[in-house]
Amino acid sequence: MSELMKPSQGQSVIDAVDARMSKLSAWNRTIFEFGETAWREERSAAWYVERLRAEDFTVEEGSGGMPTAFSARWSNGPGPSAMTYAEYDAVPGNCQKAAPYRAPRAGLSRFAGGHTDPHSALGMSAFGGLLAAKAAMEKHGITGTLRFMGEPAEKVRGSKPIHAAKGYYDGLDGIVSFHPFYMLPYANTCRWDTHCGPFYGVIYEFQCETPETWLEDTNHSQSGNPIPVAHTMARAPGANDAVTTMFTLAKTARDHMLPHSGTWTVNETILASGQAIADNLPAQMAQIMYAIRAPSRAMLDKILAVLDRTAEAAALAAHCTVKKHWVSKSRQGIANHAMARRTFENLKRVGAPRFEEAAIKAAHAVQKELGLTPIDRPFIDEIERLIDPEDAEKKIRAEIPAWQTHYTSDDYTDMTWYAPTVRLYIGRPALKAPAGFTYPDWVMNALGGMNETIDPMLNKAAKTIGLTLFDIIADPEFRKSARQEFDERTGGGIGGSKWEVPWCDYDPPLEHPWPRYHRTKQGFEWWIPETAADRALQRG
């Protein structure tokens, strides 16, 4: 360890997190309650911008041309630079109150947005680590620069490819990427070799702008009729039919796109759009989005070619035209063992989360709500244990084909092409289940918002992130080893022989009908109104 890196300096990071813990807990709940979805996170982004400025950061709002993104910077003099980031987008259809029973947040439809991973705690853990590293730098006179990015729309891998292409990750000495545990063995560990893979997100937009030409009046039997094809006659299929045709054809073709190996997935979402409310008018516009995950770009391109042909066929059948809009082109991740090893050493220093009396009481309330006998230690064992990154790697490799180099999906991967980057996981609350029982989805969502259950993760994540950010700034030997490995893996750093240029060649996809909240006289409301069924779930 460098002479600059003294145990007392690291303890300053840990103490700074503990000193702010009550605030971090409350702030996390604020973002959880906002629950805003991709590209529409106005209040969440505004909260971070205001708070960062209060902490003496200089903030660029709307970075990369994305209104709900930001880029923040704090410097106390010349030196290295380290970065972490917040995500704050929620998921439509997962609106859940921070309570031990199923209910949407007050005043909202149960189909509104809600934090599932939860990104609310992801962002607040990183923010807590950032502020702790800053406090330690000031206390010990360590100079350098801390950067903090606001990354919207992660659920569609939205902002990071755009930020990367526009140069926002240039000039960094290290990046810390954090995500709450979401699958084993990634509970309290770091990724080693097998990082997340590449991703395409694409929208096919069908338009039926000339429905009157679907059945031309060849015998002039309706000459003079102001409506070329009467309401009592056949109408053009239209855009809705094109979307459903593509949906069905793509499902049929899915098994023929790629072999049944490599954990590739193609998931679709039909985006809502305004349609005429009438008895016999065809829909003029409809959209379907595809999220494509595969271990390599070559595989992505093969899948995309099938989808392109399918879209053309669906448009032709439904008397439509089709346009393709890019949402995301995200590169695969690059490993950095030096970053992973140092971050895991920091995690060992602070320890895995411990879910004690308050968390256990909350977990028991959930189990009683579901008619279960409360379990003495209700949380799964893995979220309170550390697993060495190399051991986690062995477990993952045992589950996937030997040829596969990347696994699962997240857009932090674009950051790995610009600086040595670590991918950190910390255990979030997850409950043990009796044999044959599966918890409903609302349980994980609720546990991510309840302070007593999510705070143990937040505390340990913030400390680990803060220690690693501080190490990047203060330890030149560590910084050198991480940079040397980065240069080897990229063939000479940014622009090197193995370095891939950004895939992003599109503008931020902001103009599409992404779900959103809107302000009314009653306050903020989801675009799907609250119903009597939603209100009936509320208690107290």
Contact call for residues 128 and 465 (beta carbons, < 8 A): yes
Residue 419: inside a domain: yes
Q: Nearest to residue 89, comparing CAs of 132, 131, 32?
A: 32
pLDDT of residue 226: 52
Token pair of 306 as six digits: 């099938």
What three-state secondary structure class fits 522? coil
Could you list the residue range(s) of the whole structural domain that residue 461 is in?
7-195+332-490
Through-space distance between the first and last CA atoms of the chain, rounded to whole angstroms: 55
> What's the average model confidence in pLDDT over 43-54?
98
Q: Residue 448 is part of a domain; what is its CATH number? A: 3.40.630.10
Q: Report the mean per-residue pLDDT for the chain.
A: 93
Q: Is the pLDDT of residue 2 over 80?
A: no
237 and 356 share one domain: no
Considering the domain architecture, whether residues 172 and 231 belong to the same structural domain is answered as no
Residue 533 phi, psi (nearest 5): -65, -35
Closest C-alpha among 87, 107, 93, 94 to residue 44: 87
| 221 or 301, higher pLDDT | 301
Q: Residue 430 has what pLDDT? A: 97
Check residue 318 and give its pLDDT.
94
Domain boundary among 490, 508, 523: 490
Per-residue pLDDT tens over the stretch 289-319? 999 999 999 999 999 999 999 999 999 999 9
Of 53-67, 90-104, 225-239, 461-475, the poorest mean pLDDT is in 225-239
What's the Cα-to-Cα distance from 224 to each of 211, 346, 395, 467, rounded to whole Å?
18, 81, 74, 79
Torsion of CA 52, 53, 59, 65, to 10 degrees: 80
Q: Burial letters for 53-65: b for 16+ Cβ neighbours within 10 Å, e otherwise? A: eeeebebebebbe
Given a cut of 60, is residue 356 above it in pLDDT?
yes
User: Percent of the chain beyond pLDDT 70?
Assistant: 94
Residue 154 lies in a domain: yes
Least Cα distance to 137 among 294, 4, 227 occurs for 4
**CA 123 – CA 264 distance, rounded (Å):** 28
Is 292 found in the same domain as 213? yes
Residue 5's pLDDT band (cuts 50, 70, 90): low
Q: Are residues 325 and 221 in the same domain?
A: yes
Altogether, the residues listed in the chain come to a count of: 540
Query: Among 276-285, 343-352, 473-482, 530-539, whose mean pLDDT is lowest?
Result: 276-285
Residues 359 and 473 in one domain: yes
Number of domains in the chain: 2
Which string of DSSP letters, residue by residue, matches 205-242? EEE---GGGSS--TT-TTTT-SSSS-TTS----HHHHH
